[in-house]
Amino acid sequence: MGRHGTIAGRKEKQDAKRGQIFTKYARQITVAAKSGGDPDYNITLKHAIEKAKSINMPNDNITRAIKKGTGELEGETYEAHNYEGYGPGGVAIIVDTLTDNKNRTSSQMKHYFDRHNGNLGVPGCVNYMFERKGYFLIEKTENISEESLMEAALEAGMEDMTTNDDSYEIYTTTEDYENVKTALEEAGFEFIESDVELIPTITTATSSEGELKTLTKLIDALDENDDVQKVYHNCADDLYEAE
């Protein structure tokens, strides 16, 4: 996660990959459900279900994914692994995966980085450039008062807020994420995205349009892999404008 681009660009990209996103969220639900199939007692499962519902995943898909996790239905066993490296222009990239075959996924990750002028590194090589934070993306509309949003978030423990042309971005500590989420929901605010993310503390700009386009192709290739759950990067440029 580096620059997010416009709300319209994000929605267009999400709509185009809805089927793939269903697959990714189903895996999250299945893994989370291994610790218990009741979201009232499993906060990780609750968050995974909320994310799935935010993109209108059918309830049958959600129920099936939960049952695979609890063992009521037969399913694959997924393990979490992450990969770190550099893309074109020295942009730092971290890839979170859930896979049933680590060797296959590791081979694919190396292929993607090599093919797009990147370099898959060793664990920890870029992690120091990121910090885990609670993150909320809210679309800017005429119905939202920036002052009211800031006040509600501050009272709940917001750490920082950025105002963009078409959105508001709110950051919290991981400890305050749930409090802020609940407070904003109760105040009637809706999220385009809300999660605990890796936020870059150091950003890198690409040096040319060609470099930015190659970086975008790399991140798109990673995103399109079913094993990949999340791609974080520290590019200071807008990837959506490179397409």
Angle (CA) 10 191 183, round 5°: 160
Q: What is the pLDDT of residues 156-200, one digit of tens each?
A: 999 999 998 889 999 999 999 999 999 999 999 999 889 999 999
Residues of the chain above pLDDT 90, percent: 82
Which CATH number describes the domain made up of 80-127+202-242? Answer: 3.30.70.980
Q: Tell me which H or E stretch contains 133.
A: strand 130-139
Q: 21 falls in which pLDDT band (50, 70, 90)?
A: confident
Q: Where in the chain are the domains?
A: 7-70, 80-127+202-242, 129-200
Q: 11 falls in which pLDDT band (50, 70, 90)?
A: low
Same fold, 7-70 and 80-127+202-242: no
In terms of pLDDT, which residue wins out, 21 or 153? 153
Q: What is the pLDDT of residue 225?
A: 95
- CB-based burial label for 110 (10 Å; 0-12, 13-18, 19+): middle
Can you tell me the mean pLDDT for 126-131? 97
Q: What is the pLDDT of residue 10?
A: 63
Q: 8 falls in which pLDDT band (50, 70, 90)?
A: low
Q: What is the pLDDT of residues 71-115, one digit of tens each?
A: 999 988 999 999 999 999 999 999 999 999 999 999 999 999 999
Question: For domain 7-70, is the CATH number 3.30.70.920?
Answer: no
Q: What is the pLDDT of residue 41?
A: 95
Q: 6 falls in which pLDDT band (50, 70, 90)?
A: low
Q: Is the pLDDT of residue 7 over 80?
A: no
Can you tell me the mean pLDDT for 7-14? 61
Q: What is the pLDDT of residue 54?
A: 85
Q: Is the pLDDT of residue 243 over 70?
A: no
* H runs (alpha helix) in the chain: 7-16, 18-33, 43-54, 59-70, 102-115, 146-156, 177-186, 209-223
User: CA 18, CA 196: separation in Å to the nearest integer?
Assistant: 21
In terms of pLDDT, which residue wins out, 240 or 127? 127
User: Which option is the CATH number for 129-200: 2.40.160.20, 3.30.70.980, 3.30.43.10, 3.40.190.10?
Assistant: 3.30.70.980
Q: Is the pLDDT of residue 148 over 80?
A: yes
